[in-house]
Each structure stands twice: as structure tokens, then as C-alpha cells.
Structure 1
Amino acid sequence: METSALPVTLDRSSATPLAVQLAEQLRAAAGDGRLRSGDRLPSTRALAGELGVSRTVTAAAYEQLHAEGWIAGRHGSGTYITTAPPGSLPATAAPVRRDTTQDSVVDLTPGSPWAGGIEQSAWRRAWRAASHVAPMVRPNRSGLPEYRAAVAEHLLRHRGLRVGDTDVVLATAGTSTAAAELGRAVLRPGDMVAVEEPGYQRAVGALRAAGLRVVPATVDADGLLVDAIPATVRAVYCSPAHQYPLGGRMSAGRRVALVERAREQGWLVIEDDYDGELRYDVAPLPLLAALAPDVVVHLGTTSKILTPTLGVGWIVAPPPVVAAVLAHRDATGSGPAPAGQLVVVELARNGDLGRHLRRLRRELSERRTLVVDTLVRGEVRVLGDDAGAHVVVPVASAEAERALIRAAADRGLLLDGLARHHIGRARWFGIALGYAACSREQLKRALPVLVELVGDGAG
């Protein structure tokens, strides 16, 4: 894009510093689509000359936008917009389409539960019992009391979180919906939220739809890089127990550092407990919500441990956050549907939920061993903790990732690449390989094919 085409007008009579004005206008242009991901920006010197300001102004604006993740420099090439406008996805970030009508396709994408392991007699019993509950006259914005009590018991038994008062527990329609509610009820339009990079793009979409500015927060093998989070954010969205999609855990030191920064700078930490119940090497890791209930909002869902059919999850939050969410629900007439809550209550009441979780951990632990052993014997590199329902197979480039996905599709395997899990320019490439959605026999047949494809250079 030519310098003269930049949508920038500086007001020298304003009390707002010129560098702040410039950053705000470039951010807004990138946010509404006037500047697109991949557009090249002028150098700080050229832009300063065009606008009639000192280079200090343009350099400060670029530095702020770089810290927020809106722009990135390419060595020897220049500075480029890296973040797409809200509601859009880059070409490499198309969501994976799961066509369950094609029996010949083996679904190896992450994020799906082992729904086939749900005991059918327990499932039918829970639905029958739920159907005997009389129809409600008025909606319950918090969620059914018995459901919130069941969630509190589940968190105590399986996540080590002691909820002293179920008033801090709210029913939700799932993690993404909860993120959107927090964005609208607790934060303000234009507030900045840091989300792990790579990270959960549905949460990114939900937060952007709430009018928030999402910036990337870098992760490595030990989780979120706390020192790299811009101080100006209002909230941080993270998955410390089993980072999605890379599969690592946030180290104890970084957990403490995140909580300390949150308290010092007034951040809200949104803890997505993705696959938190599913650890196979040690006991499930302690929750951030247990470490700092004053600044952490814990999000959970039944869609990974049971099935998305139920459409229910939960929030555990500080009382002011709970009050804000309830006020938002009252004002908008929204709230979680009770049917799925009733089924969860019955599954918990009869002990079926606990029995299913024990079977789930045993089954997925065995599947993970099968996956890792097969890939390692085939000299395929594998990343990710001994936890959850997916591992990561890294590859060298975006081109290699796309080639592997295409080659696998030709052989009847549905894969999910890492590139689409980025907000801006992708830095991680490979496959997030799920092993819960398919049957064990399908998995056994698919793994040698994947080893072959990687060995042949498709990856």
C-alpha cells in the first residue's frame, strides 16, 4: 500500500499524543478491514515525512502496534500488517470441516470427545430422569442450583478446586459462549485481550464479536510467556493445564508470575481448562482459579469429557464478575438452557459421570501410547504432554503442512494444521493430531498411513 493511501489524519490541537493518535488510527484501519493482513506499511522515516512529524512519533506508534501483534517486521523487506479484521480468517486459517456422513473418512482432528465410550444405558437413564422434571415457568439465569452443585462437586473431585459457595458458579452454554459473555458483561468495547499464540480461535472470534481487540501472547513448551504480554491488556485468555493446540503445560513459575502481574496491573485472567481432567503421567494440575480466585475466571465444559450434545459448561468467577454476567443476562434475556444441565445432574447423581471419566482416562491413555509409539517407531517427531486427546506432529513450513493435509485427505484422513490457530502470521507448522473422535480400529489403520506420508516428504 502506498504511503499516501494510509487512512491517517493527525490532529495537532488534540491533547492526545501524536504517536497515540497514529497507533489508534492504524489499529482501527486494520480492525475494520481498510488495512488487510499482508499490507506493507511505509518505513518510519517515510511515514514521518509524509505526515510532517518527527520519526520519534512514527517509531513509537509502530513499536506499540508491534507489541500488540498488529504489525511485524520482515528482515530486508519492511513492516507488514499481520492481523486480519474481526470476523475474518486468513486463507490458511479456514476452520476444519468434519463431514460425519462419510464413513470412509477417519477424523483425526483435535477437540472432539470419545462420545462412543458413553455407556448407553446410563445415557438413556439420565435423559429419562431429566424428562420427568416439570417445565420451568421462569428462566434461571445462574443455572439450575442442582447443576451448579454438581459442577462444584466435579471440580473438587477431579480438579482439586474447592468452591466454598456455589453462588460463584454459573452454568454456561460452553466455553466460547462464556468468553463472549465475559467480553460483553465485564469488559468494554475496545479493551485489549491477550490470547495465546497459537491458541483457540473460536475464543478469539467470540472476543472480537464482543467488540474487543485481541492481541497474540506468545507461548513455548512451558506455556504463556508472561513477560511478553503487553501491560495495556485488560484480560488474558489462556489454557494452562493443556495448552491448545501445542499440548504443553504452563510451568509453576509462570503461573505465579501471571497471577502476580494480573494483581499488579488489574488484569482478569480467563482460564480455559481445556482437557484439564485428562492427565496420564501425574494427577491433574492445580487450577489457576485455586491459586488466585480473586483475579481468575475458570471456564469448563462437558463437550470434551462427554459430548457437545449437552451444550453446557460452567464459569467459576469472583463475585463482581458473576454479578456482571448475571446483569448482562437479565438485560439481554439470555441464559443457558436447562435440558443439558438436568442430564449432567442425573449422570453425576448416579455415579455415571465419575465412572465415565475413569473409563475415558484409561481409554485415551492407551490411545495416546499407541499414537506416540507408532509415530516414534516411524521416526516421526511428536510434541505434547502426556495428557489430553491430541499430540502435535511438527513440520518445517506452511507448504509442508498444506501438502501433508492434502495427501492425508487423498488417503481418507482428516487432519488439522497448526497454521490456522494463529491470529497473525503463523510461526508454528504441523498437525494437531486428535485420537478421540475415531474408533480405536480406525486409529490403528490410520497411523501407519500417516507415518508413510510424513516419511515420503508430504510433511
Structure 2
Amino acid sequence: MAHSGTALPVTLDRESSIPLAVQLADALRESAATGHLRGGDRLPSTRALAERLGVSRTVTSAAYEQLHAEGWIAGRHGSGTYVTTSPPSDRPIHRTVPGEAAEPVDILDLTPGVPWAAGLDRAAWRRAWRAAADAPPQSRAQRAGLPEYRAAIAEHLLRHRGLLVGTGSVLATGGTTAAVVELAGAVFSPGDVVAVEEPGYQRAVQALLAAGVRVVGVPVDSEGLRPDAVPAGARAVYCSPAHQYPMGGRMSAARRVELVERARAEGMLVIEDDYDGELRFDVAPLPLLAALAADVVVHLGTTSKILTPTLGAGWMVAPPAVASAVLAYRDRTGTRPSPAGQRVLVELARHGDLGRHIRKLRRELSERRALLVSALEAGNVPVLGDDAGAHLLVPLRSAADERARRAAAEHRGILLDGLARHFAGTPSEFGVAIGYAGCSREALRDALDTLVGLLR
């Protein structure tokens, strides 16, 4: 079937800097891609189309030649020009990335792991990005990370975590999970056993499993991971001693010493995930395992919980042999953490904005936690977890109870996280984890009565 010039969805802008032939080719290509034109449709001749559009034949001929070269149209001797390609379906399909919402959903997200990004000083944020953009483009990759970023992290660790390290001991990473991926590729071999907290951080678990590492769950209680339950022969132990994720407890001093002594005696590495160690409200931030035993501890930190995942920046402090293995891995694979987020962090630290934000963050989250705990306890809802971080846990009796409470909450417009999914093996404890950093304080306050009613 032939299409007339007026039927074709072609609009040419004679004021545009884009040549008319390019505009015409783009319009016809889009028509073929979206189904307005289909395979077998006959197009007007270049002369007829030029007359109908009020352009020279040079324009239409150039457009047809381009589309012919791309395979969208073909000429048949003595018959005319035809569209050769049909779209894959009757209408265009706009796909979203799996796991990402196609449209914003009107729901209050109280799942853990979301930072208080709204609390960032926007003027400081813009200033840091502008200053970061002043740095000249790199011609060579910095496998260990930008020296100024590593120096800023060394200063941060001393001020906020009490860890004295030199700039040369710090490696930039893309965050804690990215660091675990690198450790799995650089240090471990397929079949190596790595003990993990059960329940624990499943992204780290999946990173280890993807590298062929054998993962063995170790139970946790109110004092954190149980070192006596770590299997003999384990190559490493992955844990979050300052604020166990997701149960919220802290590893006792006695267990810290026991874990370090086992690591030294048996040649194990201890991977310390300090994902929110700066955020303690009842006492000063707890000392790091890395300060106790730098020879066997790989310390991991991240900006995603204290600032925002936008930066994609974290850090690693490791024994020299481990750090060398990670750098060799980066050389082999051509990977490195992106310097853009590192530059922004440097500028935030340079002007004191990083320290100011962390102090403000502690005050804000402490008040939010107190608000939430007070409401839950007044409603006779039990609460687990130290006075720290950005989430707490409400224990429940069974998997069915957990599913029912989460479903009821979602029906009321509140998204909660379940404890069962944080087990690498068969879940043995159940509950809901409530994050209180990602929403506004007003939204959290407005949801309290509903939360207590759902969890009582």
C-alpha cells in the first residue's frame, strides 16, 4: 500500500540547524521502527515526496539513500521504493530495568539500607561537585584510588572511628559489596570456605558464592557472631561487629579477642564490614577490629550509609599482602573504583562539610530512633538492636506471621523488610526490620500509629 506525503508523519523544521535530509530520514526511520510504516509498504517517489513536502528532490534523494544504506528501504526495478523492515510488535514496547519501578509508587519505604540523603546540605553538595569538576581529566587510572581521597579517608577513620592508618594503607573501593567482590577474586580460590553471619548481609554472601566460594553460616546473638561456631579450616570470616546487620547487636569485647586469636592461630582473615559504624548514639563509636589486629583484619567502609550511594565510593584497609593481591587483581581485570565520587568526598572533607553532616546525621537519626522505639514500646511491641544505625528489628513468631505483617503493611502503604530473607540457609528467626532514615521525619511520625497497630 502506498503512503501519501500527507499521511506520512513527517514534519520538517526549516529553522533547525539539522539538515532537512537528516530530518526526513529520521522521521521515516522512526515511522518504520514504531509501526506506522510496515514491511511491504510502498513509499512515494523522491520526486512526488519532494513536491508534497515543498523541498528539493536533493533532500528526498539523500534521505532515501541513507535509509537504503541502513536497510530500512529497498527499490524494486520498475515498481518503486518499499519499506523492508517491520517493528517487532504492533506497537513499541518501553521496557524498564528488571527490579526497578517503572513509575514512582505512592508508598512509604521503611526498609533498611536507605540513607538520609535529604539531610545533605545542598549548597555544600553543589560546591563539592563544582570543585570536583575543576580537576583535570585523568590520562592514567589510579588503581589504588586518588591519593587525596585516600588521605581524606585516613583522616576520617582517625576522627570518627579511632583508627590510625597512613594514606598508603587505604585503598579506594566502590563500596563494601564491590570490595567483597574484589576480595573474592583476588584472595580466595573456588572451594575456599568463608564463614558469614547468619542472618547477615546477603549481597556479600552472593558476591562470595558467585566467585565459587563455599559460604557457611555462623549464628549470631545479642553479642554478635559466635567465634566458637566458626568452622575449622575457614579461609575467612565476614562480619559486622560494630552493628550486626540485620539484628543490630554489637560484638562483645570478649568475642572480639576470641575471634582475632582464632584468626591468628588458624591463618584466617577477618573481613570487618563497618557499614554504619559512625552512627552510634548511646556511646562513642565502638573500636574497630582493625585497630585490634591489623595483621589479620580487612576493614571495609562505605559512603553510601553516611552520605549517599550516588558517590559509589568506599574504602578498604587491609594487611599488605591482601592489599597487593587486590591491586594485582585490578591490574589483571582492568577494574578500578570510579574517581568521580572520590573527588566529591575529598571536597566535602576539605571544607568540613563531611564532619558537619555526620554530626547532624547522628542527632537526626538518634531522635528518629527514640521516636520510633518510644511508640513501639508504648504499644507493647518488642524491639531488638542497639541504640545505633538507621534500622531496628521487631521479632515475630513465624515465617507466616512475618509474611502476614509485611503484606498488611504494604496494603496500608508501608514497605517493611522481612528477617527471613537475610539467611543464607534455612531461616530460624523471623521479624521485620524497620529503616527510619530514608523518609522524612514527618512521614515517619505520621506512620507510627499504623506501624504499632500492624506489629502489636
Change over 3 Å in CA distance of 1:451–1:99 after alignment to 2:
farther
* Contact preservation (8 Å) 2:176, 2:300: yes
Structure 1 segments of 4 or more deviating over 4 A?
A: 96-101
Residue 237 of structure 2 is matched in structure 1 by: 236
8 Å Cα contact 1:347-1:353 kept in structure 2: yes
Sort the Cα spacing of 1:223 and 1:98 in 2 relative to 1 into closer, same or farther, 3 A.
farther
Max Rg structure? 2
Match of 1:393 in 2: 394
Give deviations 1:105-139, integer Å, cap 9, x for gaps.
Answer: 11100011000000000000000000010000010
Shift of 1:305: 0.2
1:227-265 CA-partner distances (Å, limit 9, x unpaired) = 011011100000000000000000000000000000000
What residue is the counterpart of 2:421 in the other structure? Answer: 420
CA positional deviation for 1:104? 2.5
Structure number with greater CO (CA < 8 Å, separation at least 6) is: 1
Give the aligned partner of residue 113 of structure 2: 111
2: CA distance between counterparts of 1:181 and 1:393? 34
Match of 1:142 among 136, 141, 144: 144
Cα distance, 1:431 vs. partner?
0.7
Note the C-alpha offset of 1:143.
Answer: 0.0
Deviation of 1:147 after TM superposition, in Å, equals 0.1
Q: 1:246 and 1:127 mapped to 2: Cα distance? A: 36
Question: In structure 2, how many angstroms separate the alpha carbons of the residues matched to 1:434 and 1:97?
Answer: 20
Conserved? CA contact 2:295–2:319, under 8 Å: yes
Indicate the RMSD between aligned Cα atoms, in angstroms: 1.2
Deviation at 1:189, TM superposition (A): 1.3
- Structure 1 distance, partners of 2:388, 2:101, is 27
| 1:370-385 superposed matches below 5 A | 370-385=371-386
Residues 378, 413 of structure 1: alpha-carbon distance in 2 compared, 3 angstrom cutoff: same
The 8 Å contact of residues 194 and 235 in structure 1, kept in 2 or not, is answered as yes
In 2, Cα distance between equivalents of 1:206 and 1:390: 23
CA distance in structure 2 between the aligned counterparts of 1:99 and 1:419, rounded to whole angstroms? 23
Q: Counterpart amino acid of 1:145?
A: P
Residue aligned with 1:309, SS:
helix
Cα deviation for residue 188 of structure 1 reads 1.1
TM-score normalised by structure 2 residue count: 0.78
Q: Which residue of 2 aligns with 1:349?
A: 350
Q: What residue number does 2:250 align with? A: 249
In the alignment, the residues of structure 2 paired with residue 219 and residue 97 of structure 1 have an alpha-carbon distance, to the nearest angstrom, of 30
Contact kept, 8 Å, 1:270 with 1:297, in 2: the verdict is yes
Amino acid at match of 1:402: R
Matched to 1:261, the amino acid is R
Query: In structure 2, what is the Cα distance between the partners aligned to 1:428 and 1:234?
Result: 27
Q: CA deviation at 1:100?
A: 9.5
Paired with 2:218 and 2:121, the residues of 1 have a C-alpha distance of 40
Instruction: Report if aligned partners of 1:98, 1:107 keep a CA contact under 8 Å in 2.
Output: no
Counterpart residue number, 2:273: 272
Residue pair 1:407, 1:453 contacting (<8 A) in 2 also:
yes
Q: 1:133: which partner in 2?
A: 135
Aligned equivalents of 1:314, 1:186: Cα separation in 2: 17
- Contact residue 175 and residue 301 of structure 1 kept, 8 A: yes
Q: Structure 1 residues 248, 99: CA separation in 2 closer, same or farther (over 3 Å shift)?
A: farther
Aligned residues: 359
Q: Which residue of 1 aligns with 2:307?
A: 306
For 2:322, the equivalent position in structure 1 comes to: 321
Distance 1:368 1:100, change over 3 A: farther
User: Structure 1 residues 397, 211: CA separation in 2 closer, same or farther (over 3 Å shift)?
Assistant: same
**Contact 1:371–1:447, Cα closer than 8 Å, also in 2:** yes
Instruction: Note the C-alpha offset of 1:167.
Output: 1.6
Q: Residue 243 of structure 1 contacts residue 274 of structure 1 at CA under 8 Å; is this kept in 2? A: no
Q: For the Cα contact (< 8 Å) 2:301–2:316, is it kept in 1?
A: yes
Is the Cα contact below 8 Å between 1:391 and 1:433 reproduced in 2?
Answer: yes
Q: Is the 1:170–1:314 contact (alpha carbons within 8 Å) kept by the matching residues of 2? A: yes
| Paired residue secondary structure (1:283) | coil
Residues in 2 aligned to 1:99 and 1:413: alpha-carbon distance in whole angstroms: 16
Once the two structures are TM-superposed, the CA of residue 102 in structure 1 deviates from its matched residue by: 3.5
Indicate the SS of the match to 1:379: coil
Moved more, 102-111 or 263-272: 102-111
TM-score, scaled relative to structure 1: 0.77
Q: CA deviation at 1:274?
A: 2.2
1:196 maps to 197
**Do 1:298 and 1:315's aligned partners in 2 also have CA atoms closer than 8 Å?**
yes
Judging changes above 3 Å, is the alpha-carbon distance between structure 1 residues 141 and 330 closer, same or farther for their aligned structure 2 residues?
A: same
In 1, distance between residues paired with 2:330 and 2:225?
Answer: 31
Question: Could you tell me how far apart the structure 1 residues matched to 2:331 and 2:99 are?
Answer: 35
Name the structure 2 match of 1:121. Answer: 123
Mapped to 2, the partners of 1:237 and 1:211 lie a distance apart of: 16
CA distance in 2 between counterparts of 1:166 and 1:129 reads 22
| Structure 2 residue matching 1:236: 3-state secondary structure | strand
The answer as to whether partners of 1:190 and 1:211 remain within 8 angstroms in 2 is yes
Structure 1 residue 98 displacement after superposition: 7.5
CA distance in 2, matches of 1:97, 1:429: 24
**Corresponding residue of 1:68:** none
Using the TM superposition, give the Cα deviation of residue 385 of structure 1 relative to its aligned residue in structure 2, in angstroms: 0.2
Distance in 2 (CA, whole Å) between partners of 1:378 and 1:100 is 37
Matches of 2:141 and 2:104 in 1, distance apart?
A: 39
Q: Deviations over 1:251-292 (max 9, x none)?
A: 000000000000000000000002100000000000000000
Residue of structure 2 equivalent to 1:75 = none
Q: CA deviation at 1:181?
A: 0.4
1:153 maps onto 2:193 in alignment: no
Amino acid at match of 1:454: L
Asked whether the 8 Å contact 2:120–2:307 carries over to 1, the reply is: yes
- Which blocks of at least 5 consecutive residues in structure 2 are unaligned? 1-97
Q: Which amino acid aligns with 1:110?
A: P
Amino acid across the alignment from 1:384 = G
Percent sequence identity over aligned pairs: 68
Amino acid at match of 2:212: G
